[in-house]
């Protein structure tokens, strides 16, 4: 059994850009940022076994979740356990989504 690697990726946006940047673009950018992190440890998103998505707006997250996850993991049925958690605030006021990834390397 491999080691567990925990990574976090978040997406921040300036308040005046919120109307211009739809939820799907923010979520795609978060996954793109996250795709770079495992590489530092000799891994990729292919090694991810679990994700926890923390969001401020659950309905908006549900609208884009399936499509963006499929794109990010490059398959129609991502083999990644996923939990969506609605929260009232993230670490930084401008932050809109944070995803915790657990990977096996």
Cβ atoms 5, 104 nearer than 8 A: yes
Distance CA 103, CA 43 (A): 8
Question: Going by C-beta distance under 8 Å and a sequence separation of 6 or more, which residues neighbour residue 64?
Answer: 22, 23, 24, 27
CA pair distance 14, 82, nearest whole angstrom: 27
User: What residue ranges define each of the domains in the chain, with the CATH number in brackets?
Assistant: 4-104 (3.30.1330.40)
Task: Show the tokens assigned to 50.
Answer: 């679990």
Percent of the chain with pLDDT over 70: 79
What's this model's pTM, rounded to 2 decimal places?
0.75
DSSP character for 18?
A: T
Of the two residues 15 and 5, the one the predictor is more confident about is 5
């Amino acid at each position: 059994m491999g080691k567990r690697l925990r990574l976090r990726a978040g997406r921040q946006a300036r308040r005046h850009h919120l109307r211009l940047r739809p939820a799907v673009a923010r979520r795609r950018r978060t996954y793109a940022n996250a795709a770079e992190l495992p590489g530092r440890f000799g891994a990729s998103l292919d090694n991810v076994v679990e994700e926890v998505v923390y969001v401020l707006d659950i309905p908006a997250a549900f609208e884009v979740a399936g499509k963006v996850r499929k794109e990010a993991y490059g398959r129609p049925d991502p083999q990644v356990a996923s939990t969506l958690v609605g929260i009232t605030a993230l670490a930084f006021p401008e932050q809109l989504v944070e995803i915790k990834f657990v990977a096996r390397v």
